Structure 1
Amino acid sequence: MLLLYAVRMVRTGIERSYGASFQRLLTARQSHLQAGLMGLVLAIVLQSSAAVALLTSGFAASGYLAFPTGLAIVLGGDLGSALIIQILSFKLDWLVPVLLAAGGYLFVKTEAKKARQLGRILMGVAFILISLRFLREAMDPIRDSAFLPAVAGYLARDYITAFLVGGALAFVMHSSVAAILMCVTLVQIGAIPFAAGLSLVLGANFGSAFIPVWLSRGMALKARRIPYANLTLRGTWAVLCLFGANLALRQGWLGDPQGGQMLVNAHLAFNASLLLLALPACAPLGGVFARAFPEPVQAEAAQPGRPVSALEQGSYGSPAQAVANLKRELLRMADQTGAMFRPVLDLYKGGSKEQIRAVQQMDAEVNACLSGIFSKEGWLEITRMHEAILANLQLASNVLISDDLESARLLSLEKTELKRMEHDSRKRHLKRLQDGARESFDTSDIHLETLRALREFNSHIAAVATPVLYRSGQLLETRLIEDLPEGDGGEPPASGLLPKD
């Protein structure tokens, strides 16, 4: 349990610090090799290949990510998960007090969000190392009993059973890192032979591919293509390696491999070879799984015709004509917005999927009218605020469910941080206006109104933390100084400013 909790602790700290930035990393244009490297890095950061697979599936379902790129990211994530095990398999017990001291100080004594989450991450890594030591110590008496040698000998002889046990172990623990570290520890202390450990690890690789398949079962069919493709590739390669490796071990072609580090190297080689072999097949597999998981055929909802924009290049003409075109474009946007708003009550009563999809498509058309009008700097500022609000929204959900005081304090601090971001963005926007940036002049009202709306929306999100903080005595009754100093507002106003009777 400590091992599972520690892995989850590290992942939580990283998601809370940088979770909103992952969308930009995942959806950037990149080759299959670059996508695989991106998945590798994300798996190391998130401490979970399943988390990378779920993130990728979500973006693929939304249309942000093509199937071949998404599959390459997931395959790279599996290799990144193997690298985590390679790092944690070394003797790092001397790091535990350093990590606990540094992590505890950052988590308890600092107020900055990222510093606190860094402390959480460091303590999580320390707990992983502690749990591995506990696991080794707990297995010592079992190793000397008569039960484990019998089981170990059976698993060494029946490698198919060992393969299935490893798969079940990884799926039940919902963490390939934890399951494989356990197998490596058993081999390291001599509790089971290398051959049994290798079959267990190959089975754990296969079982870990079932985790994103299971977790994505409620998603759209388009989102489930990538987990199933990953399961097919990993399962096929794991079975081939299982039979090939056990045949080679029995024939003595691999010599007499021993020790947990050799098992970690075999696990790393399995995932690296799978990535190299599967990358060229990512594009062809897209068509195969598109046919295996086809989009459901639905009747198209009736949609209003979309007239040509009145602001197309070359349609400006004289200033009077440009103003007229602008008015026509505003009327077109108003008509589209009205068409979206009209069926709202019907949707609440029980709208069909076709009606909802029609409104969503009209929303995309209205958004297209507003695309490309912000300056690069202004758009980047708004994007950062949007990412921060997404992270706060996830944090508010945690507060609603758990009433966690630490999360509530962090959410309240993030409200202040977002106010600062909004204030800084306003100052930079005014500076761009002073410098004569044309895009800033064109979108000044929209930019400022968007900043205000984002801050107001974040304030509503942060209000979730208020009851928790109030019950714990973490809020002051008022922000005003109760007693003003004499002569600093306590005296009556100057003559001529008093109200007359």
Structure 2
Amino acid sequence: MRPIPAVIEPVPPAAAAGPPRRPAINGTDFLINLLGAAALLVWGLRMVRTGVMRAFGGDLRKRLGHSLRNRFAAFAAGLGITILLQSSTATGLLTASFASHGLVGTASALAVMLGADVGSTVVAQIISVLPHGLAPLLVLAGVVIFTMSRGTRLKDIGRTIVGLGLMLLSLRLIAMAAEPVRSSGILLEVFEALGDEPLLAALLAAVLTVISTSSLAVVLLVIAFVAGGLISLPLALALILGANLGATVMPLIGTATSGPEARRVPLANLIFRLTGVVIALPLLPWITPWVARIEPEAWRQVADFHTAFNLAIAILFLPLIGPVASLCTRLLPERPRGEETGKPHYLDNAALDSPAVAIANAARETLRMGDIIEKMLRQTLEVFRNDDRKLLREVETLDDDVDKLHHAIKLYLTEMTREAVDKADQKRSIDVITFTTNLEHIGDIIDKNLMELAAKKIKNKLHFSSEGFAEICNMHQRVENNLKLALNVFISGDMKLARRLLEEKVAFREMEWAASEGHYGRLRSGKAESIETSSLHLDILRDLKRINSHLTSVAYPILEAAGELTQSRLRQQNGEIGEPAKVS
């Protein structure tokens, strides 16, 4: 018989003679010790997941995104990333994020989830066999690395090692807390009665999984209970099924407010595991003897059943990903395109092999960003004019759509540039990303600054003077015109239009100066409306100037390529152009 690892306490042999002693068990102490150990286990898992995400999160996202074109590669990516993160839920949320941005199809995302489910069982296998003597060494090593390191990544690695040590320590504490229970006839009878109700046991484990937000923690807890002789193998298998079912709930909750593309992934995972549980639960009386033949130790049989269950689901559903994806699409259909402005329309992944086509797609999507910004600008003036709270909230929602498009375009072009592209295509892709970033900044200025000023105006029931609001309207109209001009420059690359746009920056600066001077003149004359709205008025002028500066920046690459710009605008005292300024 294989020895039980020291992380789990073995059941002591029965006394040779005489009735067994049954010391009085303090139920409160047992519950506190058990819950404290379980909480430490959950916290250790959290530390490992957080440490890995902070240290390698960007790399993991790239690896996951790169592996989503083939279902078998996606399955392998989900398995590997889950082993590192020790959480299939975290992998599921990452995959849902890709799906919500239109960067991955539903079928590939489902393959990732099948791999993630199997990956979580591998983690349980590994942790369950690690000796408990490693716990203090891991905690010590992690603390030393975290304390002595200056680099952020090394600190996060230290955090991960500490978390793994805490997990092993928690398993030891769970075994110690469970040891006195073996002599309690009442508790053992309760566990025995629960073993006769596999459905109730599965539902209990599912609830515990939702509360702890970790199926791995519940699985390790069940393994510890079995090794300690607290629960029987049939009850343990029912609890394992419940933990697998409960693991599907948190991703559903986490994506509840996301689009249908993101919600299809956890829905399909629920279909996978629910189907498996519905099939396996009635068959437990026949499955249990078969599992008992795999390995002699009961706690190892539980870990093996957990792995076998998820492997069986993967084998069953991997060929059926297409039909399941179609079912989820019917259950969660796409919203009409007009209602979902934040979803990319032109970022076709099939075009990534052709850089010129991919860049053109990204440019078309950027024009959609420009259209949304134009709508936000137009509605901004209406908010200030009519104190419209409903329209204010709509502008804030449009900024979320701008952020989504910016993120999708950036990832799309980044994926394209991983392959060999010539310098011209690389420069154009950088220009597209730069312009989308400027548009995203404009959306933030409207949302975070102008709408905040509008909310303040509405709350305090302030009113601009007729002259002041006319100045704001004139500057706003100039910004709208420059936005249209900037979009034309972005698409055409016309040098004359670019020069005209850059000249608008100087003209707008003079316009802003004249409007400020007019406002100061009204302040000096004691105009009441100007006095009470002075800070709002000047802040609006400043934000419109910032928006205009972001728009005119699209002209710089075009004029620079044509040799129409100098490196420095500083002049010597005699009026001649000075030496080019050094750029740091």
TM beyond 0.5: yes
Instruction: Identify the residue that residue 101 of structure 1 maps to in structure 2.
Output: 140
Instruction: Identify the residue that residue 22 of structure 1 maps to in structure 2.
Output: 60
Quote how far apart the aligned CAs of 1:361 are: 10
Q: Deviations 1:399-421 (Å, cap 9, x if unpaired)?
A: xxxxxxxxxxxxxxxxxxxxxxx
CA 1:52–1:336: 2 relative to 1, 3 Å: closer
Contact 1:340 1:362 in 2 (8 A): no
Distance 1:365 1:123 in 2: 36
Is 1:47 paired with 2:86? yes
Contact 1:102 1:119 in 2 (8 A): yes
Q: Deviations 1:189-235 (Å, cap 9, x if unpaired)?
A: 11001110011011111111112112211211221011011101111
Q: Deviations 1:397-451 (Å, cap 9, x if unpaired)?
A: xxxxxxxxxxxxxxxxxxxxxxxxxxxxxxxxxxxxxxxxxxxxx99979xxxxx
Structure 1 range deviating more: 189-198 or 27-36: 27-36
Is 1:217 paired with 2:217? no
173, 186, 195: which one aligns with 2:225: 186
Instruction: Identify the residue that residue 344 of structure 1 maps to in structure 2.
Output: 377
Quote how far apart the aligned CAs of 1:73 are: 0.5
1:228 maps to a residue whose letter is L
256, 259, 273: which one aligns with 2:312: 273
CA 1:242–1:444: 2 relative to 1, 3 Å: farther
Structure 1 range deviating more: 97-106 or 161-170: 97-106
Quote how far apart the aligned CAs of 1:357 are: 9.3
Distance 2:238 2:173 in 1: 24
Contact 1:340 1:363 in 2 (8 A): no
Quote how far apart the aligned CAs of 1:94 are: 2.4
Contact 2:222 2:240 in 1 (8 A): yes
Is 1:66 paired with 2:102? no
Q: Deviations 1:45-65 (Å, cap 9, x if unpaired)?
A: 111100111111111010011
Is 1:285 paired with 2:324? yes
Is 1:235 paired with 2:274? yes
Contact 2:369 2:402 in 1 (8 A): no
Q: RMSD over aligned Cα, in angstroms?
A: 3.7
Quote how far apart the aligned CAs of 1:296 are: 2.8
Quote how far apart the aligned CAs of 1:340 are: 3.6
Instruction: Identify the residue that residue 27 of structure 2 maps to in structure 1.
Output: none
Q: For residue 243 of structure 1, give the secondary structure of its aligned residue in structure 2.
A: coil
Provide the TM-score with structure 2 as the length reference: 0.55
Quote how far apart the aligned CAs of 1:100 are: 2.1
Q: How many residues align?
A: 355
Could you tell me which runs of 5 or more consecutive residues in structure 2 were left unpaired when the two chains were aligned. 1-38, 342-362, 384-390, 418-423, 438-556, 562-584
Is 1:167 paired with 2:209? no
Quote how far apart the aligned CAs of 1:170 are: 1.1
Contact 1:174 1:208 in 2 (8 A): yes
Distance 2:233 2:117 in 1: 22
Is 1:3 paired with 2:41? yes
Quote how far apart the aligned CAs of 1:156 are: 1.8
Instruction: Identify the residue that residue 144 of structure 1 maps to in structure 2.
Output: 183
Distance 2:113 2:368 in 1: 43
Distance 1:88 1:335 in 2: 49
Instruction: Identify the residue that residue 13 of structure 1 maps to in structure 2.
Output: 51
Quote how far apart the aligned CAs of 1:364 are: 10
Distance 1:109 1:358 in 2: 43
Q: Deviations 1:286-315 (Å, cap 9, x if unpaired)?
A: 21111110123365799xxxxxxxxxxxxx
Provide the TM-score with structure 1 as the length reference: 0.63
2:282 maps to a residue whose letter is F
CA 1:173–1:369: 2 relative to 1, 3 Å: closer
CA 1:100–1:73: 2 relative to 1, 3 Å: same
Quote how far apart the aligned CAs of 1:164 are: 1.2
CA 1:130–1:296: 2 relative to 1, 3 Å: same
Distance 1:344 1:212 in 2: 36
Mapping of 1:233-272 within 5 angstroms?
233-249=272-288, 258-272=297-311
1:95 maps to a residue whose letter is L
Quote how far apart the aligned CAs of 1:174 are: 0.7
1:344 maps to a residue whose letter is L
Contact 1:212 1:227 in 2 (8 A): yes
Q: For residue 217 of structure 1, give the secondary structure of its aligned residue in structure 2.
A: coil
Structure 1 range deviating more: 23-32 or 192-201: 23-32
Instruction: Identify the residue that residue 226 of structure 1 maps to in structure 2.
Output: 265
CA 1:114–1:210: 2 relative to 1, 3 Å: same
Distance 1:22 1:102 in 2: 25
Distance 1:369 1:22 in 2: 18
Distance 1:215 1:358 in 2: 19
Distance 1:74 1:190 in 2: 33
Instruction: Identify the residue that residue 31 of structure 1 maps to in structure 2.
Output: 70
Q: For residue 65 of structure 1, give the secondary structure of its aligned residue in structure 2.
A: coil
Instruction: Identify the residue that residue 161 of structure 2 maps to in structure 1.
Output: 122
Quote how far apart the aligned CAs of 1:360 are: 8.1
User: Larger Rg: 1 or 2?
Assistant: 2
Query: Identity rate of aligned residues, in percent?
Result: 29
Distance 1:63 1:335 in 2: 16
Quote how far apart the aligned CAs of 1:263 are: 0.5
Q: Deviations 1:219-264 (Å, cap 9, x if unpaired)?
A: 1122101101110111111221121222444xx5556765111110
2:392 maps to a residue whose letter is G
CA 1:150–1:358: 2 relative to 1, 3 Å: closer
Distance 1:86 1:107 in 2: 27
CA 1:16–1:445: 2 relative to 1, 3 Å: farther
Could you tell me which runs of 5 or more consecutive residues in structure 1 were left unpaired when the two chains were aligned. 303-329, 387-441, 447-501
CA 1:300–1:219: 2 relative to 1, 3 Å: closer
Distance 1:369 1:53 in 2: 24
Instruction: Identify the residue that residue 30 of structure 2 maps to in structure 1.
Output: none
Contact 1:174 1:211 in 2 (8 A): yes
Distance 1:293 1:41 in 2: 29
2:75 maps to a residue whose letter is G
Quote how far apart the aligned CAs of 1:142 are: 1.7
Q: For residue 258 of structure 2, give the secondary structure of its aligned residue in structure 1.
A: coil
